[in-house]
Each structure stands twice: as structure tokens, then as C-alpha cells.
Structure 1
Amino acid sequence: MRTVLSRVRGFYGDNPLHLLVLIVCFALAGFAATHEVTDRLWPLALTWFLAAVVAHDLILFPVYALLDISSTSVLGAVGRHRRSSAPPRVPALNYIRIPVLGTALTFVLFLPGIIQQGAIAYQAATGQTQEPYLARWLLLVAVMFAASAVAYAIRWYVGGIPVRTALAPVRAMFEEGERVLLVGEGTVVPVAAVATSAALYHPAGDRPGAWLRTPWRDLTDVEWRADGGLLDLVPSARAEGRPRQVSLACPEALIDLAKKLVAEGARSTR
């Protein structure tokens, strides 16, 4: 059976279930078309359908694709320049994209009622007015965005649990007045470095669970080795011990901050 499925996947290019869903969709579309052609207004319906296809593919799709790309770029830029002691940011794009998509789809679906098109015919057929449509649509939009915000908050909190757990032993080593400036993500651990106002904390490689504290005043520079994904901590002449290394996943923000604090520490010791 697996061999047959593998051959179908290799020939079709996707999961056979995808092909099955497409066949069902085409069957439903064909069933609807056979009923539509019996209506004398089918040319008008076909015209509306073709106009909708052209309007979507040539106008709407480029517009919302551009908006989606722009929002992705903006959120990515914000994430790259974000310096915070909070847990790593959960990508927010889908939590914005889904309610926006739901807003647009429901607006198109309920547009005749929202703008009260055919109000007389609607009231004659139902005995009700179309006035509640706008308020109910706005309520539906608010519920979608609220639900998305709650889901994002839950995801953000759960995703930050490993980070808060890792930060607990580090905070126990803080001196009075010391505060967290940046949390660096690791390649295999949620937290690989913690930059504070006084020092850089990083795991002790030979002692699992233990952390080392390197004051900024004891460093002369930090150097990034892209080939190994390691940040070299270059000690000053008065500092004891050998150079240390920190493995990082996203080093840009930490490197910039570390170089600034090392320079400030060097000036303060002169």
C-alpha cells in the first residue's frame, strides 16, 4: 500500500488526499453548474462569476499579496531590532492575518445586508429590516480579533515558560540594581546568553545547568564567528581565565549591544 501511495505522490506531486479533495470539489462544482444552466438567467450568473475571477486574480490578489508581504517585512524588522528582557517573540503575523481575512470574507458575504441593498424586498420576504447587519458584522469582527488576541496571548505565555525557567538561576546571580537588557536565543537551548547592565551571562559548557558571569569591564571586545555560530568573548589583560565562547542563533542584536557595553565598560575603568 505504501508503495502505491509513494508512486501516486511521485506522479501527482502531492499527497493523494489532496487529489481526492480536488476531485470532490470539481464534482460539487459540476453538480451546481448542471442546476444553474436550467435557469434562464444563467448567462448573467456566468458573467458575474467571470467578473469575480478577473477582479480577484488581477486586482484583489495583487493588493492583498502586497499588503501581506509588507506586513511580514514590517513585523520582521520590528523583531530584528527588538531589545527586550521578555521571552522570545511569538510570530504575530498569522494572528493578524486570520481575523483580517475573516473580516474581509464576512464583509463580502454580508455586503448587501450591510449597505441595505434590496431593503424593500428583504422586508417583504422576512418581515424584518436590514439595519442590524452592520452592528452584527462589527460585533463578529470584534469577536474574531479578540479570539485571535487571546490565542496569541496563550501561545506567548506558553512559549515563554522555558525562557523564564532558564532565567531563574541567572537572576539569582544578579547584583543590586542589575537589570536584563537582552536575552539571546541559542541553537539548541531557549536561552544561550543574557545581557544585563553589568555583565554577560552564558552557560558553563562543562557544567550543565550552571551559568558563568562575565562583567563588561572584563572584556575588550566580542567577535562573531559565522562559520561556527560562536561569539568569542575577548578578555582584558587584568581579567583572569581564558577566552570564552557563546553559541547563538540570532547574534545581531546581542553583538551590537555587547560592543556598546564593552566600550562603556572600558571607558569607566580608565
Structure 2
Amino acid sequence: MTLPRPVLGSPLHLLLLLCSFALCGYAGVRLLDGDWFMIALWFVGAAVLHDLVLLPLYAAADRALVRSTGRWVNHVRVPAALSGLLLLVWFPLITGMVSERYAGVTALSADGYTARWLLVTAALFGGSALLLVVRVRRARGRGPSASG
């Protein structure tokens, strides 16, 4: 049995790959320049927390969602995922944990991030619900009872 040859790609692809590795290495060196032990501990703790606690929780929630909504599950998944991503990115400002530091660095107020995140979340779920209503009505319009 012969082993498959590795695909190397074009020279441009290899150059971009080497540049991305160099950039990641530089970022890693800069990140670990300070308190490297606490940073490494944070990464390991985040991975363990995600894999052992959060993943089973949202997998169970997704299974329950699939059972309860059936084929319309993505009308809940997509807005929930987008809202969760926004929460993940803006968590310190949404919770107000860094309001003073944010105001000191940017000279802008950090007020309103929670309300805006809630409004965006409501708009995502509202738009998804509206799309679901439109799709259900179209599906009922095409049914056998509509032609008879």
C-alpha cells in the first residue's frame, strides 16, 4: 500500500501559509511576553470549561430544540448563534465590566451596550419568526387542499 502524496499547492499558497505561521508565532510571543503562566492557564481552563461543561449543555439544549421544533430548528439556531457570538465578542461592554477603562481609552461612553445587544437579539429572533411565518404560509398554500 502506498501512502498518498501531500498536496503542497501553488507557491503563492505556500507563501501565504508561511506568512500566517509567522504572524501566529509573533502574536504568540507577544501574548506570552507578560504573565505567560496565567495566560496558558486561562487557555487550558477555557478549553476544559468548554469541552466538559458548555458543550454537553448546549448539545442537550440543541437535542431538545430539535425534538420540539422539528424541521424549523434553524429558525431558532441561527438567531441564537448570532446573538451568542455578539455576546461573546462584546461581553465585557455588555456586562459593564470595563466601562471605565473603555471610556478612558476611547473617550466614549460604554452605556447602552446591553440595550443594543438585547435589541439586536430581539430583531434577530423577530426576523427569524417572520421568515418562519412566511415559509409556513407558503408551504400551506402549496398543499393538496389549496388546489381542491
In the alignment, which of 35, 41, 44 is matched to residue 34 of structure 2?
A: 41
Q: Separation in 2 of the partners of 1:145 and 1:106?
A: 14
**Superimposed CA distance per residue, residues 124-150 of structure 1 (whole angstroms, 9 cap, x where no aligned partner):** 111122111101111110111122112
Q: Is the alpha carbon distance of 1:29 and 1:138 closer, same or farther for their aligned partners in structure 2, counting shifts above 3 Å?
A: farther
RMSD: 2.7
Report the structure number with the largest CA radius of gyration. 1
User: Normalising by structure 2, what TM-score?
Assistant: 0.74
Q: Separation in 2 of the partners of 1:169 and 1:105?
A: 44
In the alignment, which of 82, 104, 107 is matched to residue 84 of structure 2?
A: 104
Counterpart residue number, 1:129? 109
**Superimposed CA distance per residue, residues 61-111 of structure 1 (whole angstroms, 9 cap, x where no aligned partner):** 0000001111222335xxxxxxxxxxxxxx221101111122222112211
Q: Is the alpha carbon distance of 1:149 and 1:28 closer, same or farther for their aligned partners in structure 2, counting shifts above 3 Å?
A: farther
Counterpart residue number, 2:56? 62
Aligned length: 132
Counterpart residue number, 2:133? 153
Q: Separation in 2 of the partners of 1:29 and 1:62?
A: 32
Q: Separation in 2 of the partners of 1:124 and 1:169?
A: 66
Counterpart residue number, 2:11? none
Q: Separation in 2 of the partners of 1:168 and 1:118?
A: 57
In the alignment, which of 162, 171, 195 is matched to residue 142 of structure 2?
A: 162
Once the two structures are TM-superposed, the CA of residue 169 in structure 1 deviates from its matched residue by: 5.2
1:97 is aligned with what amino acid? R
Q: Is the alpha carbon distance of 1:160 and 1:42 closer, same or farther for their aligned partners in structure 2, counting shifts above 3 Å?
A: farther
Residue pair 1:95, 1:148 contacting (<8 A) in 2 also: yes
Residue pair 1:36, 1:42 contacting (<8 A) in 2 also: no
Q: Is the alpha carbon distance of 1:149 and 1:75 closer, same or farther for their aligned partners in structure 2, counting shifts above 3 Å?
A: closer
1:112 is aligned with what amino acid? P
Counterpart residue number, 1:113? 93
Once the two structures are TM-superposed, the CA of residue 49 in structure 1 deviates from its matched residue by: 2.3
Q: Separation in 1 of the partners of 2:146 and 2:131?
A: 26
Counterpart residue number, 2:7? none
User: Normalising by structure 1, what TM-score?
Assistant: 0.43
Gaps of 5+ in 2: 5-15
Once the two structures are TM-superposed, the CA of residue 28 in structure 1 deviates from its matched residue by: 4.6
Three-state SS of the structure 2 residue aligned to 1:73 is helix
Q: Separation in 2 of the partners of 1:29 and 1:97?
A: 33
Q: Separation in 1 of the partners of 2:57 and 2:69?
A: 18
Residue pair 1:95, 1:149 contacting (<8 A) in 2 also: yes
Once the two structures are TM-superposed, the CA of residue 153 in structure 1 deviates from its matched residue by: 2.1
Aligned-pair identity in percent equals 26
Q: Is the alpha carbon distance of 1:169 and 1:103 closer, same or farther for their aligned partners in structure 2, counting shifts above 3 Å?
A: closer
Q: Is the alpha carbon distance of 1:158 and 1:29 closer, same or farther for their aligned partners in structure 2, counting shifts above 3 Å?
A: farther
* Larger relative helix fraction: 2
Q: Separation in 1 of the partners of 2:81 and 2:139?
A: 25
**Superimposed CA distance per residue, residues 224-269 of structure 1 (whole angstroms, 9 cap, x where no aligned partner):** xxxxxxxxxxxxxxxxxxxxxxxxxxxxxxxxxxxxxxxxxxxxxx
Once the two structures are TM-superposed, the CA of residue 155 in structure 1 deviates from its matched residue by: 1.9
